[in-house]
Amino acid sequence: MMPFLTAQTTDELDSLATFAGQQLDQIATTLHGLSPEQIRQVPTASAMSLGALARHAILITEGAVAHIAAAPEEGSEPERTPAQYEAEGTISPEAVREEDTAESLIAELHQAGERLGAVLRAADPETEGPYPDQPWFEGRQLWSVRWYALHQIEENARHAGHADILRESIDGKGAYELNALADGQEWPPAGW
């Protein structure tokens, strides 16, 4: 089995949690083996770096965890300085913190995925909560845990795709190779 295939699941909540965490794991895999300079590199026409993309994914996941855990009450946004929140919310190069390394961001992404998985597995998918006060949710009033989980999968799948493109632009390594290397497997596998 290829390392990036999502693990088997048992029920709806386990599926939502597992798939949500898997997308964060895929973003983490794109950071495997990069230097501090490489996580800050902007290798394409966009202003995105892998480090900034990772910081953004961590921020939105922390927000999702807080909102899902608080439902049906309103959750609070993660603690950040105004400058950090602004940078991490827009995926700007300033989102990467001075102390960030590929390894520290990988660890934070895995931890965020674990927290999201735990809160989803403990939730009732029918529970509704109020949308965060953000312009991209304008006009919406309530979300269900099921919808919010699927939104996290969608959001982080989009970011995982961006991360693949950024990583390939840095050193040509793609998802198959990175997943194998991150799992300590040989690349290419025998028979390929």
Q: Quickly state the pLDDT bin for 4 (edges 50, 70, 90).
A: low
Q: Using CA atoms, how far apart are residues 51 and 39, in angstroms rounded to an integer?
A: 5
Q: Which domain holds residue 107?
A: 12-182
Is residue 3 situated within a structural domain? Answer: no
Is residue 142 situated within a structural domain? Answer: yes
Is residue 73 situated within a structural domain? Answer: yes
Asked whether residue 85 carries a pLDDT value surpassing 80, the answer given is: no
**To which H or E segment does residue 143 belong?**
strand 142-144
C-beta of residue 36 within 8 angstroms of C-beta of residue 99: no
Q: What is the CA radius of gyration of the chain?
A: 17
pLDDT in the model for residue 3: 55
- What 3-state class would DSSP assign to 123? coil
Is residue 187 situated within a structural domain? Answer: no
Q: Which residues have C-beta within 8 Å of that of residue 82, sequence separation ≥ 6? A: none
Is residue 149 situated within a structural domain? Answer: yes
Q: Using CA atoms, how far apart are residues 117 and 162, in angstroms rounded to an integer?
A: 22
